[in-house]
Amino acid sequence: MTLPTTRIPDPNDAPALRWGVLAPGGIARDWTAALHATTASRVVAAGSRSLERARAFAADFDVDRAYGSYDELVADDGVDAIYVASPHSEHHDHALLAIEAGKPVLVEKAFTRNAAEAAEVIDAARAAGLLLVEAMWTRFLPHIDVVRRCLEDGLLGDVVAVEADHGQLLFPDGPQRMADPALAGGALLDLAIYPIAFAHLALGGFTEVRATGTLTDAGVDAGETVAVIGPQGAVGTLSSTMRAKTPCAASISGTAARVEIDGWFYQPNTVRLIDTDDRELDRFETPRREHGLAYEAAEFARLLTAGATESDLLPLDETLRLMQVLDEIRGQLGVRFPGEG
């Protein structure tokens, strides 16, 4: 028994796009560095509420144009697509701003604050016939495609259990947005989204979701454990916290074998195939560990060049279903963001 190969192409082989970065913060810096290092695409414009910040970003990454407003950025005729890298609380408005300007959009995860906002953005993009993709970078990585193929080919037998965790030490001394309800802070949208999305792929969706967790004094979730059941009765145990670094491992166990991804499972990684006697049968090593964010940008470039309006690797309907799961978990935990309807 051996692992299948990946179908994910080298990012270097993707068509070139001219990108505009909306909100040039930390994740935008990582994404741009990956884009410039391993693809033919380039960021040609950056927009921020602070012209000084946009200019600093442009200088650091040799970007042609810097704007002190998002409206100017999305109106730039020399930009093929917009990457929305603002806090979760702003994704809805900023994605709609780009769509209304006729620009295809790659929106950072979590896609929006809630499912209602996600539905509005998806409906707007579909009505305009524009490409829209959630930047859940894990879905576009080679090792996750190996896992996907294991599931498609029935290599593991009947899937019985999924486990995944994601914990980072980000509170109380981490980024301020993590603790701020107004910015849709908390562990769920930043950290738990990874194990939840992984289990959703492995199980083919959820029929039941049960969550328990703890909240900070400000009312955002500090961490949670989520138990899920898939359509065929398989169970998932998922956890996250922003108060400690955890192993960040993931596994899918079936009646014939299991696959394991060790620490940082959501980044470019190694997949190991283990038989029912705990013997390692095979392993897949991601060919390029660095600059993993380039894979989602490369997928977007291929899709846009082909005239597609969404990705088969993460369809918009699944993005919406995942937001509905996050809403359900927040409801069980008692987390509500200011201004939600």
Query: Which residues, including other chains, have CB under 8 Å from residue 81's CB and lie 6 or more apart?
Result: 17, 18, 19, 20, 103, 104, 105, 106, 131, 300, 304
The string of DSSP codes covering 234-301 is -EEEEEEESBS-----EEEEESSEEEEE-SSTTSS-EEEEEETTS-EEEEEE-S--S-TTHHHHHHHH
| 135 sits in which H/E element | strand 132-135
Tokens read off for 285? 């090593």
C-alpha to C-alpha distance for 241 and 232, rounded to whole angstroms? 28
Q: How crowded is the C-beta side of 277, counted as CA atoms within 13 Å?
A: 2
C-alpha to C-alpha distance for 28 and 85, rounded to whole angstroms? 6
DSSP H stretches of helix in 129-256: 142-153, 187, 193-203
109 is an active site residue: yes
Torsions phi, psi of 91, nearest 5? -60, -45
C-alpha to C-alpha distance for 322 and 335, rounded to whole angstroms? 17
Specify the length of the chain in residues. Answer: 341
Sort 282 into a burial class: Cβ within 10 Å, 0-12 / 13-18 / 19+. middle
DSSP 3-state of 30: helix
Please tell me which residue in 55, 88, 103, 109 is annotated as part of the active site.
Answer: 109
The owner of tokens 């894979």 is: 295
C-alpha to C-alpha distance for 84 and 213, rounded to whole angstroms? 30
Catalytic residues: 109
